[in-house]
Amino acid sequence: MRSQCTRRLVPFLLGWLSLCCGAQLQAGLPSPHLSGTTNTLIAWRNVTAKSTYGMSADWLSRYPPDQQEWIKAPRCAIAVIKYEYATIGGLGEPTNATAALFIPSGLDHVCQGPRPLVLYAHGTAIDRREDLSAVDSPSNPALRSARSIALIFAAQGYLVIAPNYAGYDRSTLPYAPYLNGAQQSRDMLDALNAGQQLLALLKGPSWPNSQLFVTGYSQGGYVAMATLRALDQQNRPATAGAGLSGPYALAAEADEIFLGHASLGATVYLSMVANSYAHMVHGNIDLSHLFNPRFSRSPTLFPEILPRAGFGSLVERKQIPMTALFQSPPTGFEHPDILGQDLMNSIEFDPVNYLVRSTFRAAYLSDVRQHPDGAAPPDGSRPDFARQVPHQADRPFNPMRQDLKKNDLRNYMPRMPLLMCGAQKDPEVFWDQGAATMQAMIRSQQTHTYRTIRFGTLNLDSADASSNWNSAGLDAQTNERMRLMGNRLRNDFIAHEYHNPLNSMMLLLKEEGYHNAIAPYCTIAAREFFSQF
C-alpha cells in the first residue's frame, strides 16, 4: 500500500515531467573536435513519465533481507531519462552512445534542490542491448544493474549518470572499446558533459551541486579508475571515487591468466580485450596470431544481440569455449589457486577446444619470463607486496603485453579520496592484481609526493575481520566509520553460501555467482564512503 506521502509525490514529479514528456532535443552529430567538450548532447527523451517510488520499493523486496537493510527503503521518487551523446571510438573516430540519467524528486529534503552527482560505470556486458535506462523492461540485459544503482543512489537522493558506452544500445560503433582506458574515460566524460547539459535544460526538482562522485563495478571499476585519472589530468578532480572489483593492474592480471591462474569468464574477457585493442590507436595486436582457428570468430561475438539462451548458446554452437583458454597447463606451474589445481585444470585447459593458439601463449610466456611483472611472479607464486613494489614489466616485446601495459592503471596516484572494494577469492577479477596492487603502488609513492594520498581498501573475504580494511590519509572519523561498516559487510557477505568460489563455477552465468554477489555490498560501501565528503 502506498503511503499518503507517496501519493503526493506522484503529481509533484509529473508536474515537472509534463514539461518534457515526449520532448526531444535534436541535432546532428557534433563535430569530432567538439566531443570531449561540454557540447556533446545529441538527443533525449524521458523513459519513465511516472513516479518510480512504488516500483523501487518492489525492486528492493527482491533482495535478500540483509541487503535490503543495507540498501535502505527508497526516500525519493525517480525519473529516468535516456539521452544520446557524441563521443569517439577506440581509433578516435566520431561516434555516438547513450546513457541513463536518474533524477530524484519528492518532499524529503534529500530529494530536491542541489544534489550530489554520481557518474556510474557498468561492468562487462556481452549483449549489445545493454541499456541502463530500461528499468522496467524484463528483456533488458542491464535490468538488475539499472535497478541496483537506482535503489542505492537515486532513491537516496543522488543524481546519477550511467553511460551504456560506445558499441552498445543505439551506438553506431560496430565494436566495444573494452578496457581501453583512454577511450572509456573519454566516453564517460562525454556522457557526463552531455548529462550536465541536459540537467540544465530540464530545470527539474533537483540539480547538481558541486560534488561529483565516480564509481563502477568490475569492468566499471577499471573504467571509473581511468575516469578519475582523466579528471585529475584535466585538473578537475572528483570529490571522491570508488573502484569496485576492477582489474586495475591489467597487465599483471593477464600475465596471471597466461601463467595458468584460472579466471572464470576469461574466454569472453580475452575475446573482447583482443578485439578492442585491434581497434586502438597505436595498437599492436594481430588477431590472426592469437586465436585457435576453431574459434577465429570469437573476437567479433561480443557485444552482439544474443539469443535467449545467451552465452550458453554460443558455447553449444562451438563458437567459443566455455572456460578453456589453453591447450595444456604450463610446466612447473605452482600457483596456489583458490579453486584447487585439479579443478583449475578441468576448466581452463582442453586438448582440442581451447581459445588461444599454443604458439602465441608460448611467446607470451617467454616474454613474461624475460620481462617479469612485479605483480605477477613468473614462477606462479603470489606477489609479496611487503617486500617488492609491483612495478610493470620493463619493455615487454610481446604485442599483447605492450597493449596491456598501455592500459594498466597501477601508476595512477589519486588526488581525491579513493575507496577500493572487492573480495580475496574472486575467481574473475583477482584481488592481488586489482586493489592489492593499487594499494601497494600508492603506499610506495606516499613518501615521494608533496600531498597526502587518501584511500581505503575493503576486502569482503579477508582471512579475518582485522585485515579486511586498510587505509591511509583518511580522517579518524571516516576511517573508523568505514572500518566498522566494512566488518559488518564482510560478515554478511561470507554468511551467504555463494561466497564459496567452487559454487561460482556452477553459477558462472547466473546472478548468484561469486563475482556478481560482491557488487551490491561494494556499491553500498561506495555510497557510505561518498557520504563522508
Note the pLDDT tens digit of each residue in 73-104.
999 999 999 999 999 999 999 999 999 999 99
Is 80 exceeded by the pLDDT of residue 327?
A: yes
Mark whether 193 and 263 lie in a shared domain. Answer: no
Q: How confident is the model over 40-60, as a mean pLDDT?
A: 81
Q: 455: domain range?
A: 244-249+409-533
| Strand order from edge to edge, sheet including 455-459 | 41-46, 77-88, 94-105, 159-163, 113-121, 206-217, 240-244, 418-422, 455-459, 469-472
Mark whether 473 and 336 lie in a shared domain. Answer: no
SS3 19: coil
pLDDT for residue 467: 87
pLDDT for residue 427: 87
Instruction: Supply the pTM of this predicted model.
Output: 0.91
Q: Classify 310 in phi/psi space as left (phi over 0), alpha (psi -120 to 50) or beta.
A: left
434 touches 247 (CB < 8 A): yes
Q: How confident is the model over 306-319, as a mean pLDDT?
A: 87
pLDDT for residue 9: 42
In a domain, 401, yes or no: no
The band of 497, judged by pLDDT with boundaries at 50, 70 and 90, is low
In a domain, 402, yes or no: no
Rounded CA gap, 459 and 444, in Å? 20
Which of 22-31, 310-319, 476-485 is least confident? 22-31
Which of 16-25, 295-304, 336-345 is least confident? 16-25
Mark whether 426 and 488 lie in a shared domain. Answer: yes
In a domain, 386, yes or no: no
Rounded CA gap, 241 and 244, in Å? 10
pLDDT for residue 463: 82
pLDDT for residue 46: 76
Mark whether 222 and 165 lie in a shared domain. Answer: yes
Say how many domains are in the chain.
3
Q: Classify 33 in phi/psi space as left (phi over 0), alpha (psi -120 to 50) or beta.
A: alpha
204, 238, 272 - which closes a domain: 238
In a domain, 388, yes or no: no
Rounded CA gap, 262 and 502, in Å? 12
Mark whether 26 and 164 lie in a shared domain. Answer: yes
Rounded CA gap, 529 and 481, in Å? 9
Is 70 exceeded by the pLDDT of residue 18?
A: no
Rounded CA gap, 432 and 438, in Å? 9
Is 60 exceeded by the pLDDT of residue 505?
A: no
Which of 63-67, 290-294, 359-363 is least confident? 63-67
Which of 38-52, 55-69, 269-283, 384-398 is least confident? 38-52
Rounded CA gap, 412 and 458, in Å? 19
Which of 77-86, 193-202, 336-345, 521-530 is least confident? 336-345
Mark whether 187 and 301 lie in a shared domain. Answer: no
290 touches 401 (CB < 8 A): no
pLDDT in tens, 371-405: 999 999 998 889 999 999 999 999 999 999 999 99
Mark whether 420 and 351 lie in a shared domain. Answer: no
Rounded CA gap, 423 and 421, in Å? 7
Rounded CA gap, 385 and 241, in Å? 24
In a domain, 400, yes or no: no
Q: Give the other-Cβ count within 10 Å of 38's Cβ.
A: 13
In a domain, 428, yes or no: yes
* CA angle, residues 399, 187, 307, in degrees to nearest 5: 80
Burial status of residue 444 (CB atoms within 10 A of its CB: 0-12, 13-18, 19 or more): middle
Which of 28-32, 390-394, 521-525 is least confident? 28-32
pLDDT for residue 307: 80
Q: Helices in 212-332 by DSSP H: which ranges?
A: 219-233, 250-259, 266-277, 287-290, 311-316
175, 203, 238 - which closes a domain: 238
CATH number at residue 127: 3.40.50.1820
In a domain, 132, yes or no: yes
Mark whether 175 and 282 lie in a shared domain. Answer: no
Q: How confident is the model over 314-319, as a mean pLDDT?
A: 93
pLDDT for residue 56: 84
pLDDT for residue 262: 79
Q: Give the other-Cβ count within 10 Å of 334's Cβ.
A: 12
Rounded CA gap, 44 and 21, in Å? 10
For residue 123, CA distances in Å to 75, 210, 301, 340 come to 26, 27, 17, 27
Buried b (16+ CB within 10 A) or exposed e, 464-482: eeeebbbbebbeeebbebb
As a whole number, the mean pLDDT across the chain is: 87
Could you check whether the bond before residue 303 is cis, i.e. omega within 30 degrees of 0?
Answer: yes
Mark whether 40 and 173 lie in a shared domain. Answer: yes
Closest CA to 294 of 315, 270, 311, 312: 315
pLDDT for residue 32: 36
pLDDT for residue 360: 97
In a domain, 392, yes or no: no
- Pick 26 or 192 by higher pLDDT: 192
Cell triple for 161? 549518470
Q: How confident is the model over 437-453, as a mean pLDDT?
A: 84
The band of 19, judged by pLDDT with boundaries at 50, 70 and 90, is very low
Rounded CA gap, 133 and 140, in Å? 9
Mark whether 230 and 184 lie in a shared domain. Answer: yes
Is 70 exceeded by the pLDDT of residue 451?
A: yes
The distance between the two most distant Cα atoms of the chain, rounded to a whole number of Å, is 70
Mark whether 40 and 180 lie in a shared domain. Answer: yes
168 touches 191 (CB < 8 A): no
Rounded CA gap, 199 and 201, in Å? 5
Q: For every residue of 496-507, which 3-state class applies, written as one string?
A: CHHHCHHHHHHC
Rounded CA gap, 481 and 458, in Å? 12
Q: How confident is the model over 478-495, as a mean pLDDT?
A: 95
Is 60 exceeded by the pLDDT of residue 263?
A: yes
Mark whether 367 and 492 lie in a shared domain. Answer: no
